[in-house]
Amino acid sequence: MGWRIGVIGGDGIGPEVVEQGLRVLRHLDARERLGLEEVPFDLGAERYLRTGDTLPDADFERLRDEVDAIYLGALGDPRVPSNVHAKDILLGLRFRLDLYVNFRPITLLDARRCPLKDKGPADVDMVVFRENTEGLYTGVGGQFKRGTPDEVAIEAELNTRKGVERIIRAAFDHAEERGAPSVCMADKANAMRHGHDLWQRVFREVAAEHPSIRAFHLYVDVLAMEMVRAPERFDVVVTNNLFGDIVTDLGAQLQGGIGLAASANLHPGQGPGLYEPVHGSAPDLVGKGTANPLAALLTAGWMLEHHGRADLNQEIHDAVRGCLLADEVTPELGGTLGTTEVTDRVIARLG
Ligand code: IPM
Ligand code: MN
């Protein structure tokens, strides 16, 4: 097929875990002749500290026009306390590439890693469709009388008909394609009467076009409770940007921790997706060789799936499951192996 991957290692352990994901991709490329090409991008705290650049137009345009997928490690560096570069790069790519789907699977691979009593892989198996281009993330709002006793700070939640409809449609389309029995929409319409009324109306409309899928609604506080009480209720969950951010961290713990959570930022049918492990840059682990690469590996698997190779994603998931079950993992997950060794074991299982 032939495709180019724009690589942004980023900060902290980002470059270390992305390198492991690339090793897995190179292995599969050699075996399957995928025609992968890696295109490195120097974006992150180092460059920002050196030049003041965060996401210059030239880099943005190359990412937009010259690659088929973007593979990002992590952003965040103690030397940049404002985190301005991370915001410009990560949120900048999400917004400027209009990657309106934040696809966040919550898949328990090893029952022992689930913090819930008596729940196993059959129970924790869902995917969250998090709206990724509006909501409370646009920066719309302002400050007034800042620093005075009378100060006011407004953070406006943006909900557009187009934005709400396309994420809800993406969730139902995914459910149709995967044969998922249900789609749950979560909002807070009982308190947020304008924007979330829009979500409710659009959800009912789109659900009516998919009669074979069971559509149900929960307020987001109830969703949080139910994900812990009865995660087996959920197959596909669709929600707004901020709620999706929060419930996918909760979901990350259900599947064994943030070190196992993968994600993809997508605009179906258009341009490159942005693939990133959900975890951060973990500055304290840099250079120790013990960062857990598994989320980055699973993320690479989703990149392959979204490029037509669901079979290879399944293989990566099976190999990662094999390592987890055999305790061939980094110290963070209770093992004794290093970053590279864990990847070696995954690659060995891929054959
Ligand atoms: C995530 C992160 C980001 C978000 C932060 C770093 C802005 O938490 O990808 O989940 O809130 O989207
Ligand atoms: Mn988050």
State pLDDT tens for residues 195-250.
999 999 999 999 999 999 999 999 999 999 999 999 999 999 999 999 999 999 99
What's the CATH number for 1-100+267-351? Answer: 3.40.718.10
pLDDT tens column, 136-170? 999 999 999 999 999 999 999 999 999 999 999 99
| Adjacent-strand bridge partners of 41 | none
Cα–ligand 2 centroid distance for 346 (angstroms)? 26
Question: What would the pLDDT profile of 237-285 be if each residue is shown by its tens digit?
Answer: 999 999 999 999 999 999 999 999 999 999 999 999 999 999 999 999 9
- Active-site residue 318, yes or no? no
Residue type at 66 in one-letter notation: E
Ligand 1 and 276: CB distance under 6 A: no
Topology classification of domain 107-256: Isopropylmalate Dehydrogenase (3.40.718)
Report the alpha-carbon distance of residue 14 to residue 165 in Å, rounded: 33
Which residues, chain by chain, have CB under 5 Å from ion ligand 2?
Answer: 245
pLDDT of residue 97: 98
Cα distance between residue 275 and residue 305, in whole Å: 12
Among 77, 84, 90, name the best residue to mutate to test ligand 1's pocket (greatest count of ligand atoms within 8 A of Cβ): 90
Our answer to whether residue 119 is catalytic in this structure is no
**pLDDT, average across residues 56-67:** 98
* Distance from Cα 1 to the centre of ligand 1, integer Å: 32
Q: Which whole-number Å values give the CA distances from 223 to 102, 180, 230, 272, in the listed order?
A: 18, 18, 10, 31
Tell me how far apart the terminal alpha carbons of the chain are, to the nearest angstrom: 21
Residue whose entry in the numeric block shows the structure tokens 């137009």: 57
**For the residues of 194-219, what is the DSSP string, one character each?**
THHHHHHHHHHHHHHT-TTSEEEEEE
Question: 281 C-alpha vs ligand 1 centroid, how far in Å?
Answer: 12
CATH 3.40.718.10 residue spans of the chain? 1-100+267-351, 107-256
Strand 262-266 relative to strand 273-277: parallel, antiparallel, unpaired? Answer: antiparallel
Q: What average pLDDT does range 11-40 have in this prediction?
A: 98
Active site residue 245: yes
* pLDDT (mean) for 97-124: 98
* Euclidean distance between CA atoms 305 and 162, whole angstroms: 27
What is the pLDDT, as a whole number, of residue 1? 46
